Amino acid sequence: MAKVVFLDRDTMGPGVEITRPGFDHEWVEYNKTKPEDVSDRIADADIVITNKAPVRAEQIAAAKKLKMISIAATGFDVIDIPACRERGITVSNVRGYAEHTVPEHAFALILALRRSIAGYRQDVIDGEWQKSGQFCFFNHPISDLAGSRLGIIGEGITGQNMAKIATAFGMEPVFASHKGVDGFGSLYTPWDEVIATSDVITLHSPLKPATRNMISNPEFEAMKPNAILINTSRGGLVDEAALVDALDCGLIAGAGFDVLTKEPPEADNPLLTILDRPNFILTPHTAWASDQAMKEVWRQVIRAIDDFQAGSPSNVLT
């Protein structure tokens, strides 16, 4: 009988029904798993499910029965893929589940920042409107999306849907070629041009060595002063200290983030020092987490396990 170990059930919303594989199995479920506990918990597992609990080479080497890992996410940086490949361990992820939830969240951040929603809401809470003596007042800038340029970094399904929504708002969406890479063709706009000419820049890229800190001081210095930066993709794509400096110096107008380099953030994360600013919004990695999207994630997780057990692995990374 196969033993299936789910390392971090709490990463799925409480409203998600945790259905199980259709074949005979032993099920072991943990609400959360610290990195130092992974080895013990998967030591005799045949199949492991993880979202954010890391499974590295050391744990893989110790898990002698391990045959398959099903990742409850699209990103796979928590798994040592080369170590799995060397052992012949199948790794599957989920795909396409965030095609609506992430773009909608990204545009919620874009609209809130372009129209200074957070700043005006705080003004009402603080009584500033009530004291103004007129029907409205103008403490913060307000800009339409229509006629502005959306620079999209990442051409996958979420990036494509960002372009569709942008077009509906009357924006001009452009896809950036990869940083430092030429020859992407006419469907892509050169990286430097996207950085320098976009009114809104939104990130939809995986985190890997080539993309880590791809937005840092040189990019902020090249951006338009009215630009806003949105990251609903991966923490680590943006140099967080450089972002604070850019906001301090007025190099850009604002930023909306749903992901951080370290999650949850540690006390010394520089972005925690600017939470009270009206031009910065931080949400706790919830762009992916609509009810519909989480249910689709779990459906794919279990399907991948059932497919593997049936001898026809799906969504395979290795």
Catalytic residue numbers, as ranges: 234, 263, 285
Question: How far is it, in rounded angstroms, from Cα 277 to Cα 112?
Answer: 13
How is residue 198 written in tokens? 């976009």
**Cα–Cα distance, 41 to 35 (Å, whole number):** 10
Prior bond of 173 cis (ω within 30°): no
Mode of pairing for the β-strands spanning 90-92 and 47-50 = unpaired
Cβ proximity of 48 and 66 under 8 Å: yes
**Hey, is 66 helix, strand or coil?**
coil
Are 216 and 242 in contact by the 8 Å Cβ rule? The answer is yes
**256 SS3 class:** strand
Cα–Cα distance for residue pair 293/285, rounded to 1 Å:
14
88: DSSP letter? T
- Pull the structure tokens for residue 15: 């409203």
Kindly calculate the radius of gyration of the chain based on its CA atoms and give it in whole angstroms: 22
Q: Of all helices (H) and strands (E), which one includes residue 254? A: strand 254-257
For residue 94, which phi and psi values (nearest 5 degrees)?
-110, 150
C-alpha to C-alpha distance for 219 and 53, rounded to whole angstroms: 32
